[in-house]
A = this chain, B = another copy of it.
Amino acid sequence: MKIIEGGVTAAQGFEAAGVEAAIKYQNRKDMAMVYSQAPCRAAGVFTSNVVKAAPVMWDKEIVEHSPAVHAVVVNSGIANACTGKQGYDCCRQTAEKTAALLGICADAVLVASTGVIGNQIPVEKLLAGVEKLAEAKEDSAEAGTRAAEAIMTTDTVSKQAAVQIELGGKIVTIGGMCKGSGMIHPNMCTMLGFVTTDAAISKELLQEALREDVVDTFNMISVDGDTSTNDTLIVLANGMADNPEIVCKNEDYYKFKEALNYIDTTLAKKMAGDGEGATALFEAKVIHAASKQDARILSKAVIGSSLCKAAVFGHDANFGRFLCALGYSGVQFDPEKIELYFENEEKSILIYKDGTAVDYSEEEATQVLASPAVRVLADMHMGDAEATAWGCDLSYEYVKINADYRS
């Protein structure tokens, strides 16, 4: 597996664009397009929220029933959620306009939105934006970056990743971009992710690989525990790498899955580290848990705790909060048996063992917690399962951003 530069345009035959359509109040890029020269198989996972945005309902239908997907059109600024029939019509008009301009079918067009919930998108601006996108799209890395920038809301950096593998003697590329911060626990500004690949793979296996992979990647991050109405992760595979089509779970399938896992993990961590107001990536790793599910629940409880997050922000080795979060997660364990460590890239400090604090150096612990990437490691001494979850610290800035998001 070779890590390369780029994003959604890294794989063969994919083009992208990012333009200003005046949907956001500032003069910022707010519409993106991903286009494949060849028809794609599409897989997707969507928000579990009962309140689903119009584009989520549109995309679920397309991913499940449409024979092929050719393009994705995204806007930021308004989420098109809680918008009733008018919101759904807006998706249809976007798809129809895109189809007419690109000479494809309307049911080959996916749409996605992110931004304020409850407002209607001005449809004329949206359709004018589609025209700009259709004209601007190209297969360069720069176009991929522009697309990644156009889907940002409160993100402070654009998020891309790409990787290459060899399957049956052919180079296969997977690239992706995302915005926001979460899938199961996303920031309300919504997690959107788009992964493109030139691999030839059956629709069923593409969907299965994606569904399995999100469990330990996008579903293991959290910024604030709020699951958005718009969360969407799409994978498009156009087969242009010309590899022997993956139609069963052979070696190629697992190589593909490993590469997909790299992309998903990389994008997921980028989202967690860029959580609203974050000053640090906050990782919780649980080892020797009784089951994989226990390990996931325990690690997510830690990164989801406001008090643990605030302790990381304050570089405060208040380790009781981390034990407390493990304790209320719902998983049973013996507090006397746990070991707790604070870690960064260079150091690992044992903090708690045998039911009480060990004689650690407060200064050293504070230093570790001041790192740009902080890890808390909990050794449960119960079994063989492990899991990692990613979040960020809780800062003044988070409150500021969210107390006045709309103005």
CB within 8 Å of B: which residues of A? 48-52, 79, 81-87, 116-119, 188, 224-229, 304-307, 310-311, 313-314, 316, 318-321, 323-328, 331-333, 335-336, 352, 354-357, 394-396, 398-400, 402-407
Contact = CB atoms under 8 A, between A and B. Distances in A.
Contact of A229 (B83, B226, B327): B327
B355 A323 contact: no
Given A83-B356, A225-B225, 9 more contacts: A49-B324, A50-B331, A82-B320, A82-B355, A229-B320, A306-B398, A314-B402, A396-B399, A399-B399
A227 B324 contact: yes
B307 A188 contact: yes
Nearest to A395: B399
Contact of A118 (B83, B320, B400): B320
23 contacts: A50-B333, A50-B335, A51-B323, A52-B335, A81-B324, A82-B319, A82-B352, A84-B336, A117-B320, A118-B318, A225-B225, A225-B305, A226-B305, A226-B324, A227-B324, A310-B399, A310-B403, A311-B402, A311-B405, A314-B405, A316-B403, A316-B404, A316-B405
Contacts of A50: 326-328, 331-333, 335
Nearest to A118: B320
Per CB-CB distance, the 3 closest pairs between chain A and chain B, nearest first, are A117-B320, A314-B403, A51-B327
Work out how many copies of this chain go into the complex.
Answer: 2
Q: Among A84, A85, A327, find the residue whose CB has the most chain B CB atoms closer than 10 A.
A: A327
A320 B79 contact: yes
B328 A226 contact: yes
Given A307-B402, A402-B311, A403-B314, A328 B118 contact: no
A226 to B, nearest CB: 5
Nearest to A229: B324
Contacts of A118: 318-320, 323, 352, 356-357
A51 B326 CA distance: 8
A402 B328 contact: no
Given A229-B324, A328-B226, A356-B86, A399 B394 contact: yes
Contacts of A116: 318, 320
A394 B398 CA distance: 10
B399 A318 contact: no
Given A50-B333, A82-B335, A324-B51, A226 B306 contact: yes
A399 to B, nearest CB: 5
B406 A396 contact: no
Contacts of A85: 355
A332 to B, nearest CB: 6
A40 B333 CA distance: 35
